[in-house]
Structure 1
Amino acid sequence: FQLQTLLNDSRSPSIQKSIEIFNEYLIHTQIKPLFYRLLLHPGITEEQLEQFMLPICQLARELPQIEFVIFFDEVNTSSCLGLFKEMFMDRTLHGNNLPKNLFFTAAINPSIKPSDNTLVHRQDYLVHQLPQALENLKVSYGTLESTSLRDYIVKKIAMFRVNSENNHQIVMPLEEYAQEMLADSILNAQDFCERYLGRNSVSQREIQRCFNLIEFFWKIRFDDEIESGNDLYQPNPVRCIALALTLIYYFRLPTKEDNIQRNDKQTPPREELATLLSRTIPNFLDIIQTELDKFVNIDNFVIPNAVAINQAVREHIFAIVVSIVTRTPLCIIGAPG
């Protein structure tokens, strides 16, 4: 009622009156989304899909002049592909007509039959073959070519900014030499993992996580650096890049000794990736080991006397702490103990 009163005023509203009208609009307006997304997995049932679609269909019938977009992610991981065929092609749901102003779109994972030549360190995701009626709706975008991937990475790095430690209002780009180092290192690491671990082992998510971790390592300082009172402290971009690449790519690989113990002759050891990264990051392994020794020790952690601080313990503690602080997914796999 208050909003109607304000709108009925024929005089040109003042600034204060305009603010009141806007506030009343925000308070009393009920906002409904026009875009809906559902992530599919094998546990999704037809009943759950029907419950998901029910309120959307009701709203679409109330607003026939508005188009609603419904996005189903990873459709072919679901066991309800027949129901999707019915919605997409027949425009019905269990025999009931769907509103005409619903626009369906979906993403699928490629269905590739595994062979002895494509066995990799990790298993491919489990997907189902699409119904024949949906095959003609597929549009394959493929993967980025190496040149396109490089252009993408270079442009992402050019836009990447890190906050100044002394003034959080100031942001700055990485220096040119660091940008080139980061671009070459990410490209080499991505290519290495795709060739030896499988095409599904890396994606653009790894690239974004690299940026997130570089920004984290750019800001973090040890106690002795803070206590020194050095206001002119500047992070080392090479160190930040090396640590980010280590957590994203290097630590996921086993060592040569691990492969020998498991009699694994297919999985590449991390030493091969280290050799590759050392071409763009001088002293890559020395940087990593120095930071591990500096971070994981009895001065920073309460470690029981019976626990030896070996390389595995250092790597696990370092990865766990950084992942928790940066909210980066982490999965530690290994034999008990």
Structure 2
Amino acid sequence: YTALDLQNEMNEIVRAAEKLQQDQTVVVFVDELNTTSIMGPLQSIFSDRVYEGKKIPDNIMWACAINPAIQRNVELEDAEDKKSNFTGVNKRKALEYAVRPIPQSLQDLSINFTALTETQENRFINSLLSALYSEVFQNRDQRNTLTVAILESQKFIKRIGKRNIGVSIRDILRTVKIYTFLYNNPFLLMQIDDSRHQQLACERHWRALFLAIGMCYYFRLQYKTQREAFETEIQDALSRIDYHSNANNIPPVLLGQKLSTIVRKTQGSLFKQ
């Protein structure tokens, strides 16, 4: 993103603001603000409301997202990279952008939104899946199992606390989207057999759930011990659910299999399609 890009966009924003009535406002969202190389002009826009020596209209409101600038331990990062990175490319050198500290004048305008607490995450996931209930799920047990699986996955990733592995609302939304796509396209997950219609309805839920969790959380874990611990915790949590109907529990065809085994077999079916 260059100074010329900023100039073009500022011209559009100012024109849009000038066309509005006095009581109307243009809201401009700037993402990843502190990765930019042109902080000077942006600071002038946000702090002084001036761009290229001209005052910008008062009916423009700016909202920006920034990431904290963290002091990095380069030696430790390189040591970890050697252990777990088999691509031949140094991750630190392959970074597309760097997070920089923001000027003091902008720090005074910033609000620190911390990560969601476990309770907040629980409420968010329940609200999200409740809104999708009639569109996605056939019964309450399906919603509950996906909720538990996502919550436990989020907790596990947070607990191991690796610098390059984190979770956020994006991961929750991504898991739900992948689950929904797979559940609505069962031919990608397994062979369709009308004689087993009732069993298949349950089985496709579990295959979609395990594959969504696998893609969004399991495969992000670098070490075998982490993956094994993750499998155990997820399946223990699912086994503790009080199912509304036993017919919605893990079907016999999947019972006793590890999450990783189900994911690999289901992925194989998916790629064959």
Structure with bigger helix share is: 2
Deviations for 1:193-216, whole angstroms, at most 9, x for unmatched residues?
A: 123234862111111121112222
The change in CA–CA distance for 1:285 and 1:246 in structure 2 (over 3 A counts) is: farther
Shift of 1:62: 4.0
Which residue of 2 is the match for residue 259 of structure 1?
none
Deviations for 1:294-331, whole angstroms, at most 9, x for unmatched residues?
A: 6637xx9xxxxxxxxxxxxxxxx58xx8xxxxxxxxxx
Which residue of 1 is the match for residue 151 of structure 2?
187
The change in CA–CA distance for 1:181 and 1:158 in structure 2 (over 3 A counts) is: same
User: Aligned equivalents of 1:67 and 1:172: distance in 2?
Assistant: 37
Name the TM-score, length of structure 2 as normaliser: 0.73
Find out whether 1:128 has 2:95 as its counterpart. Answer: no
Q: What amino acid is aligned across from residue 245 of structure 1 in structure 2?
A: I
Find out whether 1:106 has 2:74 as its counterpart. Answer: no
Find out whether 1:54 has 2:54 as its counterpart. Answer: no
**Among 69, 77, 80, the residue aligned to 2:38:** 80
Q: CA contact under 8 A between 2:152 and 2:233: conserved in structure 1?
A: yes
Q: CA contact under 8 A between 2:231 and 2:258: conserved in structure 1?
A: no
Shift of 1:151: 1.5
**Among 143, 147, 168, the residue aligned to 2:115:** 143
Helix, strand or coil at the partner of 1:79: coil
Q: CA contact under 8 A between 2:69 and 2:99: conserved in structure 1?
A: yes
Which one scores higher on RCO, CA 8 angstroms, separation ≥ 6? 2
Q: What amino acid is aligned across from residue 137 of structure 2 in structure 1?
A: P
Find out whether 1:206 has 2:171 as its counterpart. Answer: yes
Gaps of 5+ in 1: 1-43, 163-170, 257-267, 301-316, 322-337
Deviations for 1:162-202, whole angstroms, at most 9, x for unmatched residues?
A: 6xxxxxxxx46353333333222212211221232348621
User: Aligned equivalents of 2:235 and 2:127: distance in 1?
Assistant: 23
User: Aligned equivalents of 2:132 and 2:186: distance in 1?
Assistant: 21
Which residue of 1 is the match for residue 129 of structure 2?
157
Q: CA contact under 8 A between 1:160 and 1:173: conserved in structure 2?
A: yes
Q: What amino acid is aligned across from residue 110 of structure 2 in structure 1?
A: K
**CA RMSD after TM alignment:** 3.3
User: Aligned equivalents of 2:33 and 2:56: distance in 1?
Assistant: 19
Find out whether 1:244 has 2:248 as its counterpart. Answer: no
Shift of 1:242: 1.4
Gaps of 5+ in 2: 82-90, 240-254
Which residue of 1 is the match for residue 252 of structure 2?
none
Q: What amino acid is aligned across from residue 234 of structure 1 in structure 2?
A: A
Q: CA contact under 8 A between 1:77 and 1:128: conserved in structure 2?
A: yes
Helix, strand or coil at the partner of 2:62: strand
Shift of 1:279: 0.7
Which residue of 2 is the match for residue 8 of structure 1?
none
User: Aligned equivalents of 2:193 and 2:150: distance in 1?
Assistant: 34
User: Aligned equivalents of 1:284 and 1:250: distance in 2?
Assistant: 18
User: Aligned equivalents of 1:81 and 1:222: distance in 2?
Assistant: 50
**Among 197, 201, 214, the residue aligned to 1:234:** 201
Deviations for 1:259-306, whole angstroms, at most 9, x for unmatched residues?
A: xxxxxxxxx631121121121245575355256346637xx9xxxxxx
Q: Percent identity?
A: 26
Find out whether 1:70 has 2:38 as its counterpart. Answer: no
User: Aligned equivalents of 2:172 and 2:120: distance in 1?
Assistant: 14
Residues paired across the two proteins, number:
239
